Amino acid sequence: MADQQIADSRWQIVDGHRLSAIGHQPSAITDAIGRLPYRMALAGGWIDQPFVSQLDPAPPGSMVVAALEPTCRFMDRCGLGTSTRKVAERLWGGVLPDADPAELVRQLYAEENRGKAEPSGSQDMIGLLYPGVNRLDYAFDHAGGCFPRHIESNNDPRVAAWLEDVIYVLPVAPRPDGYNPLAIKNLDPIWIRRLGQSGRDCYDAIVARDLDGLGASMNDTMRCWEAILPGTVRHPTLTVDLPGILGYYQAHYAGAMYSGCGGGYLYVVSDAPVPGGFHVKIRLARESSDRGKD
């Protein structure tokens, strides 16, 4: 009992979050930022929203998410699933329950979107809860487009290691207050079909460890975003030249895309170092991770 009191004294609770007490030095970064994963969304983003998928002429449309180990603190409002992560911390006390991830996705989806006029897509929850690299296939005739018809998962340590090596993450800027990417919607079914295909192409390229294919799928996603939701990169509240930065990296490397609407981080695909970029660590299913250590 005394040991528990000493351990508890190392923490303070502020707005539902556990913070280090004054004078306590965490022994691991997760002691300071929490142990829940983040998530990286790659090609095909927005196809998880029913207002998009309902206009897909050849469903399902796909997008790719990957769970990330919490090796650093990612900035808020930058497309790494931080708002969903905070809800999960509050809901489950900072520890992922040992339960069916599909059921956990629905619990987290309901909790985060309670009372929201513009709900977050389920890819946010799936990216946190499903380990490895995942292709999410969305069709409006399944669950109203809110949840994927099928999830294709890859937890091969060799695939994860390759993706970790070729994705460079560059900080750009969080999306500002007052920013809304949905003010203009040009929901052309042709572009929506292309968006959904970019996710499938992305997943296939990752599994095949195809650098150029991965870059091309990410570039195509950005073209689709600008076509159907131009506010993702151009908006009166944005003070950073997002199209200009994106264009530079797409011209000089295999491909690039933003981590979310309004900027956040830039993901650059390259087999050579990208100045200012850092790598992430893919969270694998435990059994796959253990096999990779043999």
The one-digit pLDDT tens for each residue of the chain (294 residues) are: 444 443 444 555 555 455 555 556 778 999 999 999 999 999 999 999 999 999 999 999 999 999 999 999 999 999 999 999 999 999 999 999 999 999 999 999 999 999 998 899 999 999 999 999 999 999 999 999 999 999 999 999 999 999 999 999 999 999 999 999 999 999 999 999 999 999 999 999 999 999 999 999 999 999 999 999 999 999 999 999 999 999 999 999 999 999 999 999 999 999 999 999 999 999 999 865 443 433
Please report, as a single letter, which amino acid is at residue 283: R
pLDDT at 14: 52
Express each pLDDT in 3-26 by its tens digit: 444 344 455 555 545 555 555 677
Number of Cβ within a 10 Å radius of residue 73:
13
Q: Distance between CA atoms of 206 and 165, rounded to whole angstroms?
A: 12
CA atoms within 13 A on the CB side of 237: 15
Residues of the chain with CATH 3.30.230.120: 34-291
pLDDT at 15: 53
Q: Distance between CA atoms of 90 and 82, rounded to whole angstroms?
A: 12
Q: Distance between CA atoms of 201 and 274, rounded to whole angstroms?
A: 24
Q: Which tokens in the block code for residue 137? A: 């296939």
The CATH number of 34-291, from 1.10.760.10, 3.30.230.120, 3.40.1360.10, 3.90.76.10, is 3.30.230.120
H/E run at residue 190? helix 189-208
Q: Distance between CA atoms of 76 and 197, rounded to whole angstroms?
A: 29
Please report, as a single letter, which amino acid is at residue 107: Q
pLDDT at 20: 56
- C-beta separation of 145 from 243 below 8 A: no
Express each pLDDT in 163-196 by its tens digit: 999 999 999 999 999 999 999 999 999 999 999 9
Q: Of 88, 99, 104, which is closest to residue 38 (Cα–Cα)?
A: 88
pLDDT at 25: 75
Please report, as a single letter, which amino acid is at residue 136: L
pLDDT at 26: 76
What does DSSP assign to residue 256?
E
Q: Distance between CA atoms of 126 and 48, rounded to whole angstroms?
A: 11
Number of Cβ within a 10 Å radius of residue 108:
24
| 3-state DSSP assignment of residue 178 | coil
pLDDT at 24: 64
Q: What are phi and psi of 75, to 5 degrees?
A: -65, 150
Q: Distance between CA atoms of 17 and 23, rounded to whole angstroms?
A: 18
> Is the pTM for the entire model greater than 0.85?
yes
pLDDT at 231: 95
Q: Distance between CA atoms of 228 and 62, rounded to whole angstroms?
A: 16
